[in-house]
Homo-oligomer: A and B are copies of this chain.
Amino acid sequence: MSKSKKSALEEKKGVSFSEITSKSSIDAFKNKRKADIDTSNLIESLLNKDITALSRAITLIESKNPQHKVKATNILQACLPHANNSIRIGITGVPGVGKSTFIETFGKHLTAFGKRVAVLAIDPSSTITKGSILGDKTRMEELVKDENAFIRPSASGDSLGGVARKTRESIILCEAAGFDVIIIETVGVGQSETTVHSMVDFFLLLKLAGAGDELQGIKRGIIEMADAIAINKADGDNLKRAKLAKVEFNRALHLYPTKSSNWQPQVTLCSALKNEGIDAIWDIISDYIKTTTNNNYFNTNRNEQNKYWLIQTIEEQLKSNFFNTPKIKKALENQLELLETNQTTPFAAAEYLLKLYS
């Protein structure tokens, strides 16, 4: 860049090639400075709890543009020291269980006593349709108007892993922007629930009182992850069945081995529509935070989650690098054919492919 400046040792010879170059590099330099200033302004506003800045930062994280990615990395790095001071709550339940109404009522309950609440979403359908069935702002009409709330629809992406990454990075930004409670919402597809579970402190499962056998058809893995089960729409004619369901779920939860958090999952009734039982759920969560902070599980768990995501990201990338190598793709097809016709063993085929790759 110093070359573009006039020097006493240089003679001026009209418009030279070097001067053209120098003009464009000056522009680039100016642009870079401008971008740097933009980024620092954005960071400053974000740390000052400016929601527009937070939105813009999340958009940069979600962008595929390489320049945006550089900016996003810088913003994240600057936000890291200010992150980590929130309670991260995962909420799931099948469609129809009343997630939006619940989050609206629950969120209002929290902002009413001064909490700042961010709602993010992981919508597995967004990885396919690029649309979004969750986190739609129009669903939570009251909460979206609340100045202490921030609602962001699900990122879209090529894979659940991609969406998960963006959501995890958004959590850091929300925390740096001073949000006390981060709610991550997802819908009842096994894989996305595991993903959400691996990035939250507390996992809440919303259920309805069904007719007949309460355990029928429930994915056991999801019940096993729950720190609390809230049976929603426990009002009017539903109340009796909800109470029965509570007994059933309590029985089911006792069949599982004690969690490493040492926390005994709770079952509770609520009606988000009538704003009943919502405070009890916050009490359960507060209780959980107290218990797990005291026994140090809270921090250990966050560290373990970070390690999990580190290892997970590496492993996914190693596999993707291998299986997307053109010569491996072709050779794998051949080996699978040999395998299907019993002309090779899985281990011989694996050795062949690994040798080809190295």
| A contact set with B: CB distance below 8 Å | 73, 76-77, 80-81, 83-84, 165, 168-169, 172, 215-217, 220, 255, 257, 303, 306-310, 312-315, 317-319, 322, 335-336, 339-340, 342-351, 353-354
Contact = CB atoms under 8 A, between A and B. Distances in A.
24 contacts: A76-B348, A77-B344, A80-B342, A81-B342, A83-B342, A84-B342, A168-B345, A169-B345, A169-B347, A172-B345, A215-B255, A217-B257, A303-B340, A306-B339, A306-B340, A307-B336, A312-B346, A313-B346, A313-B347, A314-B350, A314-B353, A315-B315, A317-B350, A317-B354
B318 A318 contact: yes
A340 B313 CA distance: 17
Nearest to A346: B309
A80 B345 CA distance: 8
Nearest to A328: B314
Contacts of A81: 342
User: Which of A217, A340, A350 has the largest number of chain B CB atoms within 10 A?
Assistant: A350
A78 to B, nearest CB: 12
A317 B353 CA distance: 11
Nearest to A332: B310
B255 A354 contact: no
Nearest to A165: B347
Contacts of A322: 314, 318
A325 to B, nearest CB: 12
A15 to B, nearest CB: 42
A330 to B, nearest CB: 15
A310 B168 contact: no
User: Which of A73, A77, A257, A314 has the largest number of chain B CB atoms within 10 A?
Assistant: A314
A219 B263 CA distance: 20
B306 A346 contact: yes
Nearest to A224: B220
Contacts of A345: 76, 80, 168-169, 172
Contacts of A255: 215-216
Contacts of A312: 346
B317 A318 contact: no
Contact of A310 (B73, B169, B335, B343): B335
Nearest to A254: B216
A255 to B, nearest CB: 6
Contacts of A317: 350, 354
A150 B356 CA distance: 38
Nearest to A358: B321
A315 B353 CA distance: 11
A309 B347 contact: yes
A55 B111 CA distance: 73
User: Which of A77, A340, A342 has the largest number of chain B CB atoms within 10 A?
Assistant: A342
A200 B346 CA distance: 15
A313 B350 contact: yes
A268 B122 CA distance: 44
A163 to B, nearest CB: 13
